[in-house]
Structures are given as C-alpha cells and as structure tokens.
C-alpha cells in the first residue's frame, strides 16, 4: 500500500513514483525482421529521476492483473490525502 517493492529491494514510495504502467517490448532478430518476435512484459515507472524497467514475465501474476493492482493501489494512495 505504501509503494512498489521488488524482491528484497527498498520500497519505492507512491509519492516518488510516476508514470507506472505495463509495457511490452518485442525482440527483433538481426537476421530477419519477419521472424517470430517474442514479447517481454515489463513493469515500467520513474522513481525520482531514475527509469525502472522490471521484467514481469516470471512473476506469478499476469500483466493484466498487475496493471489492475497498480491502478487500485495508485487510486487508494491518491484518495488517501497523502499526496
């Protein structure tokens, strides 16, 4: 509820986080741009002046579920009067 924490790293507080969202990157082969392009999902946000991208494909949550959790907790923080 206070922010975003990944594994054992310190919590990034909501008041220090901006533009949190899920992004998808497609890997393009150097040999052929028409080959299969695997997609990698990332949690993307700014923490202070630092851009953070965390691969979320190995998490036990889908990209859609995580985006919904982000919306819920951001909304709760925004409505808590702690801004």
Structural tokens at position 17: 């986080």
Angle (CA) 60-20-29 rounded to 5° is 70
Residue 19: band (very low, low, confident or very high) from pLDDT cuts 50, 70, 90: very high
User: What pLDDT, on the 0 to 100 scale, is given for residue 58?
Assistant: 87
**Residue (of 1, 51, 53, 47) closest to 22 by Cα position:** 53
Is the pLDDT reported for residue 79 higher than 70?
yes
Cβ neighbours for 46, distance < 8 A, ≥ 6 positions apart: 17, 18, 19, 52
Q: Torsion over CA of 12, 13, 14 and 18, rounded to 10 degrees?
A: -40
Is the pLDDT reported for residue 35 higher than 80?
no
Mean pLDDT of the region 25-41: 76
């Amino acid at each position: 509820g206070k922010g975003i924490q990944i594994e054992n790293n310190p919590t990034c507080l909501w008041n220090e986080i901006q533009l949190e969202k899920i992004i998808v990157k497609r890997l393009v082969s150097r040999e052929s741009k028409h080959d299969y392009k695997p997609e990698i999902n990332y949690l993307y946000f700014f923490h202070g002046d630092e851009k953070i991208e965390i691969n979320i494909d190995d998490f036990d949550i889908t990209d859609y579920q995580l985006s919904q959790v982000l919306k819920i907790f951001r909304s709760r923080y925004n409505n808590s009067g702690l801004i």
